[in-house]
Chains A and B, each alone.
Chain A
Amino acid sequence: MGALAVLALVGRMVVLFALLLLVPLAFAVARHDAGERAFITATIVTAVAGLLMSAATRRFRRELQPRDGFVLVGMTWLVLPAFGALPLVLAVPGLSVTNAYFEAMSAFTATGATALSGLDGLPLSVNVWRCFMQWVGGLGIIVLAVAILPLLGVGGSQLFKAEFSGPLKDQKLTPRIADTARVLWGTYFGLSLACFLAYRAGGMGWTDAFLHMCSTVSLGGFSRYDASFGHFQSPLLEMIAVVFMMLAGISLLSYFAVWRARSAGPLLRNPEVMAFYAAIGGAIVLIAGYLLWHGAYSEPMQAVRHTVFHVVSVATTTGYASTDYAAWPLFAPLLMILLGCFATCAGSTGGGIKMIRMLLLLKQARRELVRIVHPNVVNPVTLGTTAVSDRVMQAVIAYMMIYGASLVGLTMLLLFSGLDVVTAFTAVIACVNNIGPGLGDVGPAVNYGGLTDFQTWVCTFAMLLGRLELLSVLVLFTPQFWRR
């Protein structure tokens, strides 16, 4: 029975998750804050539930088949936010289950959209848990499981592919998938440590540095303050955040390639990385110029500072805000959000289409145009010196179609429920691409708490869909998948 075998593994994932709960628990116990009881209860419930699940299905454990992988990933990403929401419901008075699940999903998918207000007044442990979930979810809990637990066996690479982003998942840097996962987490950990120390040196307290480190390198964007990064009013900290968001916006595996080659060559030769820098650099120049021309800021340095921070924050799908950029002329925030749809690279912690798919599509378009003029030309889409197979191109094009259809479908659902166009459209884009804040009623100065339960569930689904790159989730809804 496939479902039970999957359940056995989900049980183990839940146990792993209980271990992660120890981090906020430690904060809660150390501070004796209002979340102490909630976290103790939640940890025990999670651990017991996980142990029960894996014990009850012990007999059914077996090697996973590829299709089980999708079920496992889907189940994991549905079940874990529920356990993640548990301490939030217990610790925050008046928080509905819907909003708690939304908050946990937002954290787990490193989106950064929040349904909570009055963050400054929440117990510290709750904020730690929100940010720490982003840190774990940013790179992916299954990648973590593959890295540290031998439980997933050969099927691990299948799982890895379902959670890891980008169209070219068969390129392995190391022969064993577990090693690749370890490299990823090692790099991620190193980057986090550097970010943590940089924030501390830049003037944050230890706790603030830890919390913001978690949401920076995961490109999540949670903060413990309602004013988000605006709380600090420090250009230095904003620049540190910009640097680490840019670092996390490209594939973490490329740092491994750099380390292995002992030169920056692999980075400079990587067309995706170069396109990422170019897109962000271009947008900064364009928007800063536009804001000055429009007179949104009288001081050029102010305009540049806010443009750099917000373009990087939104384009890398982080979603920090230091000022209400929704008040800028509509062109600027809309361009930033559109950039957030595709700017980050495959293999990074960012969301969205990923730059590599965009590049492939542009190359495909160019290819078709050349073909019209030269019918005999042979010009496959290439990356470096390898041709991208038609199989991959079809997958990319299918992905784009499903992506477009999802955006339209979800936007229509929100419109149906009564939201205005700007809010509905930007909320869907911000959720599917795991950016966080949208515009209108879900803009950087307000939050998702104002939505109805139905709208919140739609957004929750959108976040999951975007994080697992559509196909991993949607395949679960196809009849073929369940047919034996």
Chain B
Amino acid sequence: MKILILGAGRVGESVAESLVSEKNDITVVDNDPARLRALQDRLDLRGVVGNGIQPSVLKEAGAEDTDLLIACAPLDETNLVACKVAKQRFNVPTAIARVRSPEFVDGAELMQRDGFAVDHLLCPEQTVTAYIRKLIEHPEALQVLEFAHGLVSLIAVRAVAGGPLVQHALAEIPALVPGADMRIVAIYRQDTVLPVLDGATRIEPGDEVFVLAATEHIGTVLGALRHRAEPVKRVMIAGGGKVGLRLARQIEAQYQLKLIEPHAARCEYLSTQLAAGTLVLNGDATDEDLLGDENVQDMDLFIGLTGDDEDNIMSCLLAKRLGARRVLAVINRRAYADLVQGTTIDIAISPSHTVIGELLAYVRRGDVEAVHSLRRGAAEALEAIVRGDRKTCKFAGRRIDEVPLPKGAQVGAIVRGLHRADGSEAGDEAKPQVIIAHHDTVVMPNDHVIIFVPRKRMVREVEKLFQVSATFMF
């Protein structure tokens, strides 16, 4: 696939990084030759220096035969105009724009063909906010990802001794946790995935367990793997940037919220945007006196959300030391994130990473509905729609154990009923049904299948299984 990326900033770089290894031809356009050179040295891609909204620059970058444009320059206006130019002048089939302003909405009139002609809007701030929000709702989880319009969730959780399922074999799950159907799709022990999962595999304390279950059962699943934590009531956010503000707006009604921001002018703005009950504090989140004065020891959750990795790490370490129950840091640099995840800092979130999934859904072959990149890109969970029938597709009409899945890849759940018989979206009349997969579950055409792929290189094989082939004969 030929991909044109506009802007070699933080998002552009990580997008390039995650797509470059998938046999894509990538061209990156940026104003800054030094940054492009650095990127070119590190990754196998082409850099074009220039302003990405100029047709001549786009042409030089090969816009004419590009399959996908991802505009992630720092300014919304650049990205929107670039999409318009690429679509109208060069007929690029798919254009994705990163926008920061929440006022631009996907599918709105402004984004349609005769508007800015954007197929999909990418808003990393929005994605990260949603991600963190899930973790506030489910404080025991490491990660909660949604599939099939939110019907099914993939939950990552660290098993703790004392949970009903811990130190038991997988075969005992239905007996131990009746009522909530779930499927464990992967277990990571000491950061390596267990190669085989069968009925005899035992869950040990400290394991990182990935479970697929209906979204309504998240609570039960978490309770099965560790004792339930007290629900979160008090939250402190360090950093009132775009994500901080979005998050605060969304959660201020349900939680007691304190927001720390070092810039006085920004504080003023934040306090006008937030309800009167939310405290906006002007100060440095790494100032232990401030944290102490504001009772960080009583916080159920401390979130480091400043733009600076070091500040986030240090303030989280400090908050934890002072007694915050759980701390969560947003860390942009991958090396840092790997370094601190699971240490004193309970959860490290890398924002650029969370948006990759949305892009991958466009890059993947087959009818892929959603992709979530996991464990910093090492693993992937994807939701694909089964098309064709028994003759043309390797999934349709077969039991799951008949499908030639690569070793380690697991079908976790199936959602049936989101489409009509002819394959069109059922919309409001859909009566979706979540089926947690077992080895003898039969996959039907138009099912959404959710698959966990523990190693990225297996993704291509899995993709192929979903492709409808005219020549495929059994």
Genuine A/B complex: yes
Mark A residues whose CB is within 8 Å of B: 363, 366, 370, 374-380, 382, 385-387
User: Contact: B294 with A380, CB < 8 Å?
Assistant: no
User: Contact: A379 with B293, CB < 8 Å?
Assistant: no
Name A383's closest neighbour in chain B (CB-CB): B272
User: Contact: B294 with A374, CB < 8 Å?
Assistant: yes
B232 at the interface (CB under 8 A from A): no
User: Contact: A378 with B294, CB < 8 Å?
Assistant: no
User: Contact: A374 with B281, CB < 8 Å?
Assistant: yes
Name B264's closest neighbour in chain A (CB-CB): A378
Cα A380 to Cα B282 with chains together (Å) = 12
Decide yes or no: A380 and B272 within 8 Å by CB, A374-B294, A375-B293 being known contacts: yes
User: Contact: A376 with B268, CB < 8 Å?
Assistant: no
State the Cβ distance, A237 to closest chain B Cβ, in Å: 42
Contacting residues, chain A, for B261 (C-beta < 8 A): 378
B283 at the interface (CB under 8 A from A): yes
User: Contact: A377 with B273, CB < 8 Å?
Assistant: no
B211 at the interface (CB under 8 A from A): no
User: Contact: B293 with A387, CB < 8 Å?
Assistant: no
Cα A379 to Cα B267 with chains together (Å) = 8
User: Contact: A378 with B267, CB < 8 Å?
Assistant: yes
Decide yes or no: A370 and B271 within 8 Å by CB, A375-B293, A376-B293 being known contacts: no
B20 at the interface (CB under 8 A from A): no
Contacting residues, chain A, for B293 (C-beta < 8 A): 374-376
User: Contact: A378 with B281, CB < 8 Å?
Assistant: yes
Decide yes or no: A370 and B279 within 8 Å by CB, A376-B293, A385-B273 being known contacts: yes
Contacting residues, chain A, for B270 (C-beta < 8 A): 378
User: Contact: A382 with B272, CB < 8 Å?
Assistant: yes
State the Cβ distance, A375 to closest chain B Cβ, in Å: 7
User: How does the 8 Å CB contact mask read for B260-301 relative to A, with 1 for contact and 0 for none?
Assistant: 010010011111110010011111000000100110000000
Contacting residues, chain B, for A366 (C-beta < 8 A): 276
User: Contact: A377 with B279, CB < 8 Å?
Assistant: yes
Ordered by A's residue number, 17 sampled pairs between the chains whose C-beta atoms are within 8 Å are: A363-B276, A370-B279, A374-B293, A375-B293, A376-B290, A376-B293, A376-B294, A377-B279, A377-B282, A378-B281, A379-B280, A380-B272, A385-B272, A385-B273, A386-B272, A387-B268, A387-B271
Cα A378 to Cα B264 with chains together (Å) = 8
State the Cβ distance, A51 to closest chain B Cβ, in Å: 53
User: Contact: B272 with A387, CB < 8 Å?
Assistant: yes
Contacting residues, chain A, for B281 (C-beta < 8 A): 374, 376-378
User: Contact: A379 with B283, CB < 8 Å?
Assistant: no
Decide yes or no: A379 and B271 within 8 Å by CB, A374-B279, A374-B281 being known contacts: yes
Contacting residues, chain A, for B294 (C-beta < 8 A): 374, 376
Contacting residues, chain A, for B282 (C-beta < 8 A): 376-378
In order of increasing CB-CB distance, the 5 nearest A-B pairs are: A378-B267, A376-B281, A387-B272, A376-B283, A378-B282
Cα A354 to Cα B294 with chains together (Å) = 37
Decide yes or no: A380 and B283 within 8 Å by CB, A375-B293, A385-B273 being known contacts: no
Contacting residues, chain B, for A382 (C-beta < 8 A): 271-272, 276
* Residue among A376, A377, A380, A387 with the highest chain B CB neighbour number at 10 A: A376
Cα A363 to Cα B261 with chains together (Å) = 22
Contacting residues, chain B, for A379 (C-beta < 8 A): 271, 276, 279-280
Cα A118 to Cα B261 with chains together (Å) = 68
Contacting residues, chain A, for B280 (C-beta < 8 A): 377-379
Cα A382 to Cα B264 with chains together (Å) = 16
Contacting residues, chain B, for A376 (C-beta < 8 A): 281-283, 290, 293-294
State the Cβ distance, A363 to closest chain B Cβ, in Å: 8
Name B284's closest neighbour in chain A (CB-CB): A376
Contacting residues, chain B, for A377 (C-beta < 8 A): 279-282
State the Cβ distance, A384 to closest chain B Cβ, in Å: 8
Name A388's closest neighbour in chain B (CB-CB): B272
User: How does the 8 Å CB contact mask read for B31-43 relative to A, with 1 for contact and 0 for none?
Assistant: 0000000000000
State the Cβ distance, A415 to closest chain B Cβ, in Å: 42
Cα A387 to Cα B290 with chains together (Å) = 25
Contacting residues, chain B, for A363 (C-beta < 8 A): 276
Cα A376 to Cα B271 with chains together (Å) = 13
Contacting residues, chain A, for B290 (C-beta < 8 A): 376
Cα A382 to Cα B275 with chains together (Å) = 10
* Residue among A363, A379, A386 with the highest chain B CB neighbour number at 10 A: A379
Contacting residues, chain B, for A385 (C-beta < 8 A): 272-273
User: Contact: B271 with A380, CB < 8 Å?
Assistant: yes
* Residue among A366, A374, A385 with the highest chain B CB neighbour number at 10 A: A374
Name B258's closest neighbour in chain A (CB-CB): A374
Contacting residues, chain A, for B272 (C-beta < 8 A): 380, 382, 385-387
* Residue among B261, B270, B276 with the highest chain A CB neighbour number at 10 A: B276
Name B282's closest neighbour in chain A (CB-CB): A378
State the Cβ distance, B264 to closest chain A Cβ, in Å: 7
State the Cβ distance, B418 to closest chain A Cβ, in Å: 35
